[in-house]
Amino acid sequence: MLLAFAVAGYGALAVCGLGFGSLFTESDVIETPGVGIVPAALAVVVSVGAFALALWPAIRPDHPRFTSVIGVVFATAAIYALALWLLALVFGAGLGTATGAVVEVVIGWPVPVLAGAAAIASWCAIAVRRTRAQRPLWPWERPDAR
């Protein structure tokens, strides 16, 4: 359940961050001519899956390490860039155009936004796992109330 909440949180932060980044910079997320919205959107979907796959082993131990966030962030960002490149090629962009789009998002603001979203969501998931948080209980449900 924690993984599902973390993945939903990452997806929400990614979409919100990319939307506000585009609004504040008055630019598209991907401005490379020849790369449409479909490969860009699908690359974000792939990054959500990559985030889930990278976070799962990080939160499995009883006392996960916060340093696991680093691996989750790099895996998510790298898979996003790779997925964007492959999807741009699949949807008809040339090799140079696809590579240009990836370089643009990596050195620009989109990949740092996705990395920040992955860092926040994975750190929160690890923090919840470390506290062994449980569902809230009514006063009469607590073991010491009997």
SS3 of 17, please?
helix
What is the rounded CA–CA span in Å between residue 19 and residue 40?
Answer: 13
**More confident: 134 or 103:** 103
Counting Cα atoms < 13 Å in the Cβ hemisphere of 16 gives 9
State the amino acid at position 51 in one-letter form: F
Q: pLDDT of 39-72, one tens digit each?
A: 999 999 999 999 999 999 999 988 899 999 999 9
Q: pLDDT of 76-86, one tens digit each?
A: 999 999 999 99
The residue behind tokens 């740092």 is 112
What is the rounded CA–CA span in Å between residue 18 and residue 53?
Answer: 22
